[in-house]
Structure 1
Amino acid sequence: MSGHAELPRSDTTPHPRRLMLESLRPPARLLTRRRFGVQVHGAERVPTSGPVIFAANHMGVMDGPLLGIFAPRPVHALTKLEMFHGRTGRFLLAAGQIPLDRFHPDPAAVRSCLRVLRDGRAIGIFPEGTRGTGDLARFHRGAAYLALVTGAPVVPVIFLGSRPVGGHHDAVPPKGGPVDIVFGAPCTFPAEPWPRSREQVGEASVLLRERMLETLDHARALTGRDLPGPLPAAEVEPDPATGITDQGAP
């Protein structure tokens, strides 16, 4: 896919690393399935080539790794900047993940995502912004914005069981515990030329959230399972009030 010279430009932005991202997935799937009962549903809905945006709900610490390991295609996921310290940060960079400053405009993260998409590969994003109930009550604009810039299809992803009921933000299921990953039908928005307005991004975000809520309902019916409930109040992470569902958001 071309377009690196279009605004925002991504022609001078290096592609995130790919070797470890791709080589670790098969052994990681094997090891994860020895510990948890992971079931993947709807993988056939994911486009097998070209750019794609995975937009997932977010409940616990396992969501990012599960997306990276079990998505049908390797995923360069947007990951909060706070994670990129020490050994963990070096591993995330080596595994091709993209640091994101959630509290300030981050053009470097945007350009990295555009580089990946314009090269015909996949990114992952959690529109809720941070771990929570997974019910999409919070919803940021990033996924829709990237879709409008590139025309890449957005595939909804719903996790069920990745955090136990009533569990803490870093809790994982018990050994052998079932985890379901449900991929929904791709949602496509026509690429909009520069400059894209806040209203256009907001409207696309509303439509994308509706599609993700439909996928959530489908996932519940398909698996007979539900979300884990809210995090303990003391563990709710700060998150900027810039989403389409925040009070006063245009």
Structure 2
Amino acid sequence: MTDSGEKTYSAPGHAGLTVLRATVGRWLGSRYDLHQHGTEHVPADGPVIFAANHSGWLDGPLLIACTPRPAHALVKAEQFEGRSGALLRLAGQISVRRDENDAAAVRKAVAALEAQHAVAVFPEGTRGAGDVAHVKDGMAYLALVTGAPVVPVAIFGTRQAGQPGDAKPDKGARIELFYGRPIAVERRPWPRARGEVRTLAGRLQQELRVHVEKSAEVSEVALPGPLPPGDTHV
């Protein structure tokens, strides 16, 4: 049980994740002109939260397969269907229902961090312009509960201007990931006030936005801008 008396969860497994990373990583490397910057900023051990901007479909596979450390990503529940769902479960990814407060998903992510693993999140909650104009509170909550540092990640090249959210980059397209310095967060015991979580979410949003803006200044690929009007591929 947790300090609040809630049910605890076991950390997701790593074995399947290792296999999937190798397979998907090779495919991504052979299909795209992939560049990663700032990997030296990622802590070699201990819990860590990768927090990335989100503009295209390929962002998720990139975080699962290419981060310097294996990460359990929070993936929208709609992806956990059919063959892709089986692969995601095998790889220890975490299903999250985005239209509600999915306590089970949060507890699984907490369990992964408390087991000294890495967790990957898209704090914007959905695909968009990739400029981190808004965030949800989940990233901040995970950091407060576990004390895990947050590594900001800026992703460029997974969608072109005017393309829908489910567009896939052309073969050979340049894709860049920029990892920033870890943002330290002090672990806070239960109970945690809603205002405290919201305040930290605002601070982390600002740090991530600054990281994206600074990365854009040196990136060879621009952010795509908003999704086309009426696009539902989020």
TM-score (norm 2): 0.95
> How far off its partner does 1:65 sit?
0.3
> How far off its partner does 1:159 sit?
0.5
Distance 2:80 2:23 in 1: 24
From 145, 149, 152, the equivalent of 1:156 is 152
For structure 2, list consecutive stretches of 5 or more residues without a partner in the other structure.
none
Distance 2:81 2:26 in 1: 27
In structure 2, the partner of 1:34 is 30
Taking the TM superposition and a 5 Å limit, the aligned residue runs for 1:93-132 are 93-132=89-128
SS of equivalent to 2:178: strand
Aligned residues: 234
In structure 2, the partner of 1:193 is 189
SS of equivalent to 2:35: strand
Q: Is residue 53 of structure 1 aligned with residue 49 of structure 2?
A: yes
Q: Is residue 79 of structure 1 aligned with residue 72 of structure 2?
A: no
In structure 1, the partner of 2:206 is 210
Distance 2:64 2:49 in 1: 13
Matched-pair identity in %: 42
Distance 1:149 1:14 in 2: 16
Distance 1:68 1:133 in 2: 21
Distance 1:107 1:220 in 2: 34
Distance 1:27 1:88 in 2: 14
* Change beyond 3 A, Cα 1:155–1:8: farther
> How far off its partner does 1:9 sit?
5.2
Contact 1:8-1:111 at 8 Å conserved across structures: no
CA RMSD in angstroms, aligned pairs only: 1.6
From 54, 60, 63, the equivalent of 1:67 is 63
> How far off its partner does 1:8 sit?
6.8
> How far off its partner does 1:5 sit?
4.2
Distance 1:65 1:117 in 2: 20
Contact 1:14-1:115 at 8 Å conserved across structures: yes
In structure 2, the partner of 1:170 is 166
* Change beyond 3 A, Cα 1:137–1:165: same
* Change beyond 3 A, Cα 1:88–1:23: closer
* Change beyond 3 A, Cα 1:190–1:207: same
In structure 1, the partner of 2:3 is 6
For structure 1, list consecutive stretches of 5 or more residues without a partner in the other structure.
239-250
Distance 1:71 1:222 in 2: 20
> Counterpart amino acid of 1:136?
V
In structure 1, the partner of 2:215 is 219
**1:108-164 residue CA offsets vs partner (Å, 9 max, x unmatched):** 111101110000000011011111111111211100111001100000111000112
TM-score (norm 1): 0.89
Moved more, 120-129 or 229-238: 229-238
Contact 2:165-2:233 at 8 Å conserved across structures: no
Distance 1:213 1:147 in 2: 18
In structure 2, the partner of 1:89 is 85
Contact 2:136-2:201 at 8 Å conserved across structures: yes
> How far off its partner does 1:30 sit?
2.2
> Counterpart amino acid of 2:3?
E
> How far off its partner does 1:225 sit?
3.1
Distance 1:16 1:73 in 2: 15
Distance 2:137 2:168 in 1: 28
**1:180-210 residue CA offsets vs partner (Å, 9 max, x unmatched):** 0011111111111111011101110111011
